[in-house]
């Protein structure tokens, strides 16, 4: 029987689906050479953006899973929609593209992309990480995602709710897909294309 999720979790899955469609359009027509193209030394290629997302998603999930298991052991079950609190909403909005120069930050070493990953490999890793996030939403959606907190793996002393963590994953994906599209549009000899889902995803977050 197909599991029917409440609207807030359907929205989260919809954000993941939109990011996946955007990533599919992003890599369409690229090969390993164009996928590895960088605008300048030290900048990221399309493949590196995808590799970064895959790694970041997996690191977030590894931090969130023990909190979810603890919540289930204590029967801390769902009390309402899985939406971020005030501080969480502010962080999610900060993550959203377009990224202004003053708001740029260097990715932590833990989730920096591997050097020159293959495009197909990076894309496959991103899709696998998407499946893992969806599995988390499906398996843990009956918990109190808004009330249960986990230790942020990147900022010492900061704890996020599981709901905030899921929304951060989605907004972080939009941030770096936006970055990857900006790279793709500059690759010599590659036909320009518009991002499929990034901008609508940003507009949809106004409801948070």
In the chain the domains, ranked by start, together with CATH numbers, are 7-207 (1.20.120.450)
Taking all residues of the chain, what is their mean pLDDT, rounded to a whole number? 88
**Does the pLDDT at position 21 exceed 50?**
yes
Comparing 35 with 43, the larger pLDDT belongs to: 35
pTM of the full structure? 0.87
Q: What is the predicted pLDDT for the residue at 2?
A: 58
Q: Which band of pLDDT confidence, cut at 50, 70 and 90, is reported for residue 4? A: confident
Look at 24-28, 90-94, 130-134, 151-155 and tell me which has the smallest mean pLDDT: 151-155
**Does the pLDDT at position 147 exceed 60?**
yes
Q: What separation in angstroms does the CA of 33 have from each of 22, 42, 52, 188? A: 20, 17, 18, 11
**Does the pLDDT at position 168 exceed 50?**
yes
Is residue 208 within 8 A of residue 83, CB to CB? The reply is yes
Q: Looking at beta carbons, which pairs linking 96-100 to residues 24 or more positions away fall under 8 Å?
A: 96/171, 96/174, 96/175, 96/202, 96/205, 97/174, 97/175, 97/178, 97/179, 97/198, 97/202, 98/178, 98/202, 99/175, 99/178, 99/179
Q: What is the predicted pLDDT for the residue at 108?
A: 61
Q: What is the predicted pLDDT for the residue at 1?
A: 41
Question: How far is it between the farthest Cα atoms of the chain?
Answer: 57
Q: Which band of pLDDT confidence, cut at 50, 70 and 90, is reported for residue 103? A: very low
Comparing 80 with 2, the larger pLDDT belongs to: 80
Q: What is the predicted pLDDT for the residue at 190?
A: 86
> Taking Cα atoms as reference points, which of 77, 93, 85, 86 lies closest to residue 6?
77
Determine which helix (DSSP H) or strand (DSSP E) holds 151, and give its type and residue range: strand 149-151
Q: Which band of pLDDT confidence, cut at 50, 70 and 90, is reported for residue 207? A: very low
User: Residue ranges of the alpha helices (H) in the chain?
Assistant: 7-27, 32-35, 46-73, 86-95, 119-140, 162-184, 198-204
Q: Which residue has the tokens 């899709």?
A: 127
Q: At what angle do helices 7-27 and 162-184 cross, to 10 degrees?
A: 20
**Is 75 exposed, middle or buried, given 0-12, 13-18 or 19+ CB atoms closer than 10 A?**
exposed
Q: Which band of pLDDT confidence, cut at 50, 70 and 90, is reported for residue 206? A: very low
Q: Which band of pLDDT confidence, cut at 50, 70 and 90, is reported for residue 111? A: low
Q: What is the predicted pLDDT for the residue at 171?
A: 96
């Amino acid at each position: 029987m197909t599991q029917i999720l409440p609207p807030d979790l359907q929205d989260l899955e919809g954000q993941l689906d939109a990011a996946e469609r955007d990533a599919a359009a992003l890599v369409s027509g690229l090969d390993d050479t164009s996928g590895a193209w960088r605008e300048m030394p030290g900048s990221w290629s399309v493949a590196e953006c995808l590799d970064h997302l895959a790694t970041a998603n997996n690191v977030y999930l590894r931090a969130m899973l023990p909190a979810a298991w603890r919540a289930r052991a204590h029967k801390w079950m769902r009390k309402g929609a899985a939406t971020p609190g005030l501080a969480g909403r502010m962080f999610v909005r900060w993550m959203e593209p377009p990224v202004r120069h003053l708001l740029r930050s260097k990715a932590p070493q833990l989730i920096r992309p591997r050097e020159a990953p293959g495009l197909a490999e990076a894309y496959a890793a991103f899709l696998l990480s998407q499946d893992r996030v969806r599995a988390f939403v499906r398996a843990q959606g009956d918990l109190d995602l808004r009330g249960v907190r986990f230790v942020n793996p990147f900022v010492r002393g900061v704890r996020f709710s599981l709901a905030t963590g899921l929304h951060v994953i989605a907004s972080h994906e939009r941030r770096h897909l936006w970055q990857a599209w900006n790279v793709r549009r500059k690759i010599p000899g590659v036909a320009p294309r518009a991002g499929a889902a990034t901008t609508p995803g940003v507009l949809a977050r106004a409801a948070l």
